Structure 1
């Protein structure tokens, strides 16, 4: 059997005297999309921040490809092959697409360490073409792109740098119907790259379109995990609201 890309076991997180996450366990496998759902305050964002190195768990273990690991900060998680796409995208509006693709990890050349803009442009154009992110060119300025195009760039950037796992936090919350459909196509295409994906979404329609499994959180507690094909919205809603445990 394929080893889990990410294995969380007994994750517990306390802020002061408040329990944010209690005894959470989940395995994610290569090429699998798992949706994390729950009401506001359920602990979804805290869990994303634990996996991405922003928060350290109070107790519990994190394994990547079978090896127990811990991250001192978010850069440690990135070095391990984990990338996050947040709602605010963390894009530099005044910069071109190719500079955003390599933001903080710019390619340089020569003894003076000059920016290798040509290489960054070429690599960016190749990736957006592969993923069918429809933008005018790698030279386009981020502020001139639509919301869907910006989201596509953020996901493409994560895809470029992630070797293990991509975390998507409400990737289409601010998009219209057509742009949401394009972003969903992009997310589904990542399966072929054998990257594990954990997606937080408030839209159960989206969850059922994209995910292989659904994990439900309520008030920091893991209520259950269901195979998407073997459940329905009514069961998931009941788990979210407490009508079913």
Structure 2
């Protein structure tokens, strides 16, 4: 089967630091792939490249079997690729609804829409439905997100990405600021997104969460993919061994 999104031999350096060193990655439609590795393994750099936020020094990206050259994150969004970064990338002075629809506002019908008026009621209903589906607790739909807790902001960012992703959803440490109930809601939502045929990439340091929802798990170490494991047939010990180099990569190859 041809991967929906595939990276081959990606390399990217920052000065003398080589963040990606011939990294490979792939994910298929309707699949959750865990992307794990120790700090500095290249995970965040890889997803920034895949989402058009960083240029490549070398390597190729393929989307639906065709070579893809991304000029920026807006183009990735046009292909249906959505990302939740660790810094969340929210506009703190805007409310949750405005953040969900930032750059994708719904114009009002008729002449008012042509004059630049937005359908605030429709956007509010849609955003509220997205938060409810995720189980995200939002203090107020009209308050600035900068005044909200880290968990609330995280829920807003995840709900926004899930609302717009139609091909690939990339989540970078999505449960880091969440409580037990919110974390469970996010993991269940990941499964629902997968069941819609959307590819999900989960970056997490929580091995139990990775094992719970991932169909496959790919391990990065020193900027390269060193192992791929089937999610239901591996253990935390095997994953940690591949991350640290204690397990020979050939033993973990799927």
TM-score computed with the length of structure 1 as normaliser? 0.89
List per-residue Cα deviations over 1:109-148 (Å, max 9, x = no partner): 3221112212211222333344444547755653565544
Quick check: 1:244 aligned with 2:252?
Answer: no
Of the structure 1 ranges 202-211 and 125-134, higher mean CA displacement relative to structure 2 is found in 125-134
Mapped to 1, the partners of 2:155 and 2:187 lie a distance apart of 10
In the alignment, which of 206, 212, 236 is matched to residue 233 of structure 1?
236
In the alignment, which of 108, 124, 128 is matched to residue 127 of structure 2?
124
List per-residue Cα deviations over 1:198-234 (Å, max 9, x = no partner): 1111111111112111111111121111111121111
Mapped to 1, the partners of 2:177 and 2:51 lie a distance apart of 23
Quick check: 1:150 aligned with 2:187?
Answer: no
In the alignment, which of 184, 187, 190 is matched to residue 184 of structure 1?
187
Of the structure 1 ranges 199-208 and 172-181, higher mean CA displacement relative to structure 2 is found in 172-181
Mapped to 2, the partners of 1:137 and 1:129 lie a distance apart of 13
Quick check: 1:44 aligned with 2:47?
Answer: no
Structure 1 unmatched runs, 5+: none
Mapped to 1, the partners of 2:101 and 2:203 lie a distance apart of 25
RMSD between aligned residues: 2.1
Quick check: 1:224 aligned with 2:223?
Answer: no
Structure-2 residue corresponding to 1:207: 210
How do 1:17-166 and structure 2 match up within 5 A? 17-109=16-108, 110-135=113-138, 138-139=141-142, 142=145, 146-166=149-169
Structure-1 residue corresponding to 2:251: none
Mapped to 2, the partners of 1:177 and 1:135 lie a distance apart of 16
Query: In 2, are the aligned partners of 1:152 and 1:186 still within 8 Å (CA)?
Result: no
Mapped to 2, the partners of 1:144 and 1:60 lie a distance apart of 42
Query: In 2, are the aligned partners of 1:22 and 1:222 still within 8 Å (CA)?
Result: no
Tell me by how many angstroms 1:16 deviates.
3.6
Query: In 1, are the aligned partners of 2:134 and 2:185 still within 8 Å (CA)?
Result: no
Mapped to 2, the partners of 1:106 and 1:142 lie a distance apart of 18
Tell me by how many angstroms 1:236 deviates.
0.8
Mapped to 1, the partners of 2:160 and 2:90 lie a distance apart of 10
SS of 2:22 mapped into structure 1: strand
Mapped to 2, the partners of 1:185 and 1:38 lie a distance apart of 23
Mapped to 2, the partners of 1:208 and 1:192 lie a distance apart of 17
Mapped to 2, the partners of 1:46 and 1:163 lie a distance apart of 23
TM-score computed with the length of structure 2 as normaliser? 0.86
Inter-CA distance 95–15: structure 2 relative to 1 (3 Å threshold): closer
Aligned length: 244
Query: In 2, are the aligned partners of 1:32 and 1:195 still within 8 Å (CA)?
Result: yes
Tell me by how many angstroms 1:105 deviates.
2.1
SS of 1:163 mapped into structure 2: coil
Structure-1 residue corresponding to 2:170: 167
SS of 1:114 mapped into structure 2: coil
SS of 1:115 mapped into structure 2: coil
